[in-house]
Chain A
C-alpha cells in the first residue's frame, strides 16, 4: 500500500515536471497560446498543410481579457522559453513590446502582415512604428436595436449616427432598455474610451504615450471626460438601464437585449452568431432576428464623430522563443485570409483583412459586414501605452459604479488618480 502510494506520488511529480519543460515537444513543435477555442481548428489545418514543417502544442489562455494578460505577463516576465506564438489582446501589446517580451517583425514581414489590414486593427498592432502583432481579427462594437421599438422611441438610425442622449430619452419613452457594459472590467474601459474619444478627447494627454511613467499626463480632466461621466451616469440612473447595470458584462447585455423589454444594446458582432445558438437551443423565438437591426456605434453629441470601440486579437512571437523563424512561418498561415475567414465564420469575430468582407459566404452569414468594416476602419483603439495595465485599472476604479459618477468631480478625480498611480504615489 505504502509502496504503491509513493510510486503514485513519484509519477505525479514526474508528470508535473514533464508538464513544465514539456512545451518543447519535437524540434518543430510550436507552443501556441490561444484565446479562443476556434483558433485551434485553424491551427490544426495549418499544421496539416505545412506537411510536417511544424506542429502545434496548443495552450489555452483564461477567458477574461485581464486573466489572459496576467498569464502572458507572468510567463513572459519569467522569460518562459517554451512559448512561441502568443495571442495578445491589442491594448496589452504595447506593455509587452516595451518590456522587450515580443519579437518585432522585420520590415519585410511588416509589409506582408499589414497588407490589406483595416486601419483600426493595424494601428493597435503597431508600437513606436514597429509591428509587434500580426492581426488575426479586428473587432468593433455596433449599436443593435429592436426594429419594433424604433418608432415609439423616436429614434431613426437611418438618419445617421444616433447620440447617447437620444437613445436614453427614446428608450425611456418607449419603456425599453439600453444595454451597455457597466461592469468593472475591461469592457468598462472600452466604453469610457469610446465616449471620451467621441467627445474629442483622449484618456492620455497627447504625446504621453512614449513618456516614462512619472511623466505621463492624463487627458481625462477635460470637457470630454465630463461628457463621458455625464452620459454614463445619466444612463445608469435612467429607467432605460437594465437591472444590474453596474455588474453587466457583454453577455448580461445580450441577455437584457433579448428580454421582452429589450430595445437597444452596444455590443460586439459575436452577438449575432450567439443569437443563432440561442434560437437553436429554443431560448429565443425562431423569428427573433427578424426584429434585430444594427447601425454605427452611438456618438456623444450630434456634431461629433462616433468613435467605435476597437478590439481584436493579434499573434505575436515571444522574444524568448527558440524557434522564432518557424513561428513567423506558422503565423503566415494562422493569420492568412483563409484563416481569418474561417475564424469569422466559426467564432463570429470579424476579420482584420478588408478583403474577407467581400467573400460571399461571409456576406451571407454577416448581413452587417459592411457596417463592421466601416467600424473597423474608423475604430478608436484604447490608449497605446506601456503602462496600459495601470491606465485601465485607474479607469475601472474611477468610472465605477456608473450611477455614482458626476461630470463635476469624476474627471478630476480620475485624472489625479491616474497620474498619482503612475508616479507610484497611490494604490489602485
Chain B
C-alpha cells in the first residue's frame, strides 16, 4: 500500500574531492516531482482551507471584538490570553477536560483490549462479531449522546430502573453527570480503540505465542510478556489518537448536560465565547490555547513516550 520512495544511497563522489552529499538519482528525482504533481494541488488546498483560518484565528485573538458591536473593536494584544489564563473557570474546565480524558481513555484501553482479543480470537461468527462491536462507533456522537441522555433521565430512562435508583437525577450533580458523560463517551469510542489494538494484535506472529506456550508460560504471562511488549507501538498510537480526541470532547457534554453542574469542557468554553457570546476575539484565543494544548499532548506522546507513528501504518523495516 505505502510505496515510500526508497532513500537513494549516497553516491560515491568522494574520489572527486567533493564533500559527501546526498544526491538523488534521476529516478528518485522524477518520482519526487511526480509526487508533488499528484499531491501538490491537495496540499495547497489544505493549506488554504486550514492554514488561513488558523492564522486568522491568531490575528483575531488579539482583539476585543464582539460581532454585534463592530465599532467597539479594539486591539488588545495578548489581553485575551491574560483574561483566560487568570480566570478560574478556564482552569476548572481544564481540570474537567483532563479528568474526562484520563478516565475515558484508560477505561477504553482496558475494554478495547478485551474486545480486540475477542475479535482476534473468535472462531465463529467473526464478521458478525466485529460488525457488532463496531456499531457504536458508526453512530453519530450527537445521536448517541441523546440516547444516553434519555437512558440516564430520571423520568423515562432505564438506567435508574435497572439499578433500582428510583428517581435519582444523574444530571443534578457534577460527579454523577460527569459519570454519565464518561459512560456515553466510552460506549461510543471503545470500538475505535479496539480496532487500533486489533491491528497491533494481528502483527504478533503466532510463533511467539506458541513458543511461550511450549516454554510453559501461563495465559497471563503470555499477555504480559509476549503480547503487550509486542503491541507497545500500537497501544501508544491508539492512546495518542484517543487522547487527542477525548481532549476536544464537546458534543456529548453539549447534548447531555449543556454544560450545567460544572461539566463544561474547554471546547465548550470556546463555543460559548465564540458562538453564544459572539466575542470572536476571546473565543479565538480560547481556541488557540486549546490547539496548543492538543499539540503539546501530541508532542508529549511522540517525544516522551517515543510513539512511532509509522508503526501503525505497517511500515516497519
Partners in one complex: yes
* B89 contacts A428, C-beta separation under 8 Å: yes
In the complex, A96→B68 CA distance in Å? 7
B310 interface residue, CB < 8 Å from A?
no
Which of A69-77, A159-167, A266-274 has 4 or more CB atoms under 8 Å from chain B? A69-77
A389 interface residue, CB < 8 Å from B?
yes
Closest beta carbon of chain A to B194's beta carbon, Å: 30
In the complex, A401→B261 CA distance in Å? 7
A73: chain B residues within 8 A (beta carbon)? 67-68, 278
Given known contacts A244-B155, A400-B260, is B83 in contact with A386 (CB within 8 Å)?
A: no
In the complex, A244→B153 CA distance in Å? 9
* A393 contacts B272, C-beta separation under 8 Å: yes
B172 interface residue, CB < 8 Å from A?
yes
Interface centre among A96, A184, A246, A428 (most CB of B within 10 A): A428
* A213 contacts B72, C-beta separation under 8 Å: yes
Interface size class of B (residues with CB under 8 A): 20 to 34
Contact of B68 among A95, A246, A400, A426 (CB under 8 A): A95
A26 interface residue, CB < 8 Å from B?
no
Interface size class of A (residues with CB under 8 A): 20 to 34
* B277 contacts A426, C-beta separation under 8 Å: no
Contact of B83 among A95, A98, A99, A427 (CB under 8 A): A427
In the complex, A428→B67 CA distance in Å? 17
Q: Which of A385-403 contact B (CB under 8 A)?
A: 386, 389-390, 393, 400-401
B171: chain A residues within 8 A (beta carbon)? 244, 247
B64 interface residue, CB < 8 Å from A?
yes
In the complex, A184→B169 CA distance in Å? 15
In the complex, A70→B278 CA distance in Å? 9
* A386 contacts B69, C-beta separation under 8 Å: yes
Interface 0/1 of A394-421, CB less than 8 Å to B: 0000001100000000000000000000
* A401 contacts B155, C-beta separation under 8 Å: no
B61 interface residue, CB < 8 Å from A?
no
Interface centre among A74, A213, A386, A424 (most CB of B within 10 A): A424
Given known contacts A252-B155, A400-B260, is B169 in contact with A424 (CB within 8 Å)?
A: no
Contact of A401 among B72, B172, B269 (CB under 8 A): B172
Interface 0/1 of B74-93, CB less than 8 Å to A: 00000110011001011000
* A427 contacts B172, C-beta separation under 8 Å: no
* A427 contacts B260, C-beta separation under 8 Å: no
* A244 contacts B83, C-beta separation under 8 Å: no
A66 interface residue, CB < 8 Å from B?
yes
Q: Which of A231-247 contact B (CB under 8 A)?
A: 243-247
In the complex, A401→B286 CA distance in Å? 25
A12 interface residue, CB < 8 Å from B?
no
* A66 contacts B276, C-beta separation under 8 Å: yes
* A427 contacts B89, C-beta separation under 8 Å: yes
* A393 contacts B68, C-beta separation under 8 Å: no
Contact of B275 among A70, A247, A426 (CB under 8 A): A70
B284 interface residue, CB < 8 Å from A?
no
Interface 0/1 of B153-170, CB less than 8 Å to A: 011000000000001010
* B167 contacts A424, C-beta separation under 8 Å: no
Given known contacts A70-B275, A70-B276, A428-B272, is B83 in contact with A247 (CB within 8 Å)?
A: no
In the complex, A82→B169 CA distance in Å? 44
B277: chain A residues within 8 A (beta carbon)? 389-390, 393, 428
Interface centre among B84, B260, B261, B269 (most CB of A within 10 A): B260
In the complex, A73→B275 CA distance in Å? 9
Residue of B nearest to A183 (CB): B260
Residue of A nearest to B68 (CB): A99
B279 interface residue, CB < 8 Å from A?
yes
In the complex, A213→B68 CA distance in Å? 12
Interface 0/1 of B275-310, CB less than 8 Å to A: 111110010001000000000000000000000000
In the complex, A98→B72 CA distance in Å? 12
* B172 contacts A386, C-beta separation under 8 Å: no
A13 interface residue, CB < 8 Å from B?
no
Residue of A nearest to B279 (CB): A424
Closest beta carbon of chain B to A424's beta carbon, Å: 5
In the complex, A247→B170 CA distance in Å? 10
Given known contacts A73-B278, A185-B258, A393-B277, is B169 in contact with A246 (CB within 8 Å)?
A: yes
A255: chain B residues within 8 A (beta carbon)? 155
Contact of A427 among B66, B72, B87, B275 (CB under 8 A): B87
B258: chain A residues within 8 A (beta carbon)? 184-185
Interface 0/1 of B220-263, CB less than 8 Å to A: 00000000000000000000000000000000000000111100
B272: chain A residues within 8 A (beta carbon)? 393, 427-428
Residue of B nearest to A188 (CB): B260
* A427 contacts B276, C-beta separation under 8 Å: no
In the complex, A281→B90 CA distance in Å? 47
* A427 contacts B167, C-beta separation under 8 Å: no
A4 interface residue, CB < 8 Å from B?
no
In the complex, A112→B279 CA distance in Å? 37
Interface 0/1 of A78-105, CB less than 8 Å to B: 0000000000000000011011010000
Residue of A nearest to B155 (CB): A255
Given known contacts A424-B83, A425-B83, A426-B87, is B275 in contact with A74 (CB within 8 Å)?
A: yes
B273 interface residue, CB < 8 Å from A?
yes
Closest beta carbon of chain A to B281's beta carbon, Å: 9
Residue of B nearest to A97 (CB): B68
Contact of B169 among A243, A389, A390, A428 (CB under 8 A): A243
In the complex, A101→B80 CA distance in Å? 27
Residue of B nearest to A71 (CB): B275
A101: chain B residues within 8 A (beta carbon)? 68
Residue of B nearest to A247 (CB): B171
Interface centre among A96, A247, A386, A427 (most CB of B within 10 A): A427
Q: Which residues of B contact A (CB under 8 A)?
A: 64, 66-70, 72, 79-80, 83-84, 87, 89-90, 154-155, 167, 169, 171-172, 258-261, 269, 272-273, 275-279, 282, 286
- Write 12 A-B pairs (CB below 8 A) sorted by A numbering: A77-B68, A96-B68, A183-B260, A184-B260, A247-B169, A252-B155, A390-B277, A393-B272, A393-B276, A424-B282, A427-B272, A427-B282
Task: Give me the 3 closest cross-chain CB pairs, A-B, nearest first.
Answer: A243-B167, A99-B68, A184-B260
